[in-house]
C-alpha cells in the first residue's frame, strides 16, 4: 500500500479530486441520509484512492471505482449505526413509564440542551444519568473505553450545567427523560 509520490500522479489525483469530490459527497449523503457525514465519507474515500492511486488511475473506470469505495464506506457506517442502536436497545427499558403532571417546559429545556451537545457527550450523559448505567455498561454500549465515558460525561454535564443554569443537571436529565418518555411512548430523540 505505497503512496505514489511523483508529480504527474499528484497533479492527476488533484484534478480527479476537484472533478469528483462534490459528486462523491452527494452520493455519500444519499446513501447514509447524513449530510454531516457525507463530506467525511467522501474525503475518506479519496484518501483511500490516493493510497492506491497507481491502481485506480490504471482502472477502466476510476470514477466507478471511487463510487464503490464510497458505497462500501457508507455501508460500514450504516452497519455501525445499526450495531450501536442494538446495543442501546439492550439497555432501553421495555416497560412504559408514566409520570403524572410532567414538567413539560423542563423536559423541553433539557432535550434542547442535550441536542446542543456533541453526540458522544450526549450519549454518555443520557446513558449514565437518564438510564442509570454504570460507566462500564455505558462504555460497552458505545464501544468506547471507561475513561472516555468518564471524561465525556464530565464535560457533557459541565456543558449542561452552563446551558441549564443549575448545580445538579443530572437530576434534571433523569427527571426529564422519565417525564419526556411518558409523553412520547417511552422514546426520546
The stretches of 92-118 forming alpha helices (DSSP H) are 104-115
State how far the Cα of 69 lies from the Cα of 33, in Å rounded to an integer.
17
pLDDT tens-digit map of 6-60: 788 899 999 999 999 998 999 888 888 888 889 999 999 999 999 989 888 888 8
Taking the alpha carbons of 58, 61, 66, 70 in that order, is the dihedral positive or negative? negative
Q: How confident is the model at residue 171 (pLDDT cuts 50, 70, 90)?
A: low
Burial of 110 (0-12, 13-18, 19+ CB in 10 A): buried
Phi, psi angles (nearest 5°) of residue 187: -125, 135
**SS3 state of residue 186:** coil
pLDDT tens-digit map of 117-170: 888 898 888 888 877 888 988 888 788 899 999 999 999 999 988 888 865 666
State how far the Cα of 46 lies from the Cα of 17, in Å rounded to an integer.
7
Amino acid at each position: 500500500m505505497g503512496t505514489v509520490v511523483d508529480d504527474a500522479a499528484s497533479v492527476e489525483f488533484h484534478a480527479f479530486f476537484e472533478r469528483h469530490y462534490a459528486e462523491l459527497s452527494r452520493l455519500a449523503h444519499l446513501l447514509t441520509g447524513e449530510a454531516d457525514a457525507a463530506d467525511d465519507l467522501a474525503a475518506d474515500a479519496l484518501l483511500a484512492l490516493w493510497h492506491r492511486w497507481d491502481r485506480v488511475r490504471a482502472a477502466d473506470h476510476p470514477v466507478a471505482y471511487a463510487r464503490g469505495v464510497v458505497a462500501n464506506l457508507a455501508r460500514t457506517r450504516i452497519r455501525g449505526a445499526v450495531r450501536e442502536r442494538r446495543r442501546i436497545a439492550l439497555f432501553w427499558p421495555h416497560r412504559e413509564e408514566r409520570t403524572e403532571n410532567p414538567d413539560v417546559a423542563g423536559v423541553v429545556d433539557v432535550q434542547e440542551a442535550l441536542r446542543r451537545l456533541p453526540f458522544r457527550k450526549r450519549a454518555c450523559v443520557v446513558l449514565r444519568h437518564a438510564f442509570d448505567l454504570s460507566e462500564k455498561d455505558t462504555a460497552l454500549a458505545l464501544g468506547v473505553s471507561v475513561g472516555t465515558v468518564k471524561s465525556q460525561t464530565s464535560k457533557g454535564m459541565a456543558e449542561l450545567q452552563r446551558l441549564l443554569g443549575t448545580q445538579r443537571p443530572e437530576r434534571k436529565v433523569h427527571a426529564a427523560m422519565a417525564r419526556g418518555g411518558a409523553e412520547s411512548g417511552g422514546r426520546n430523540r
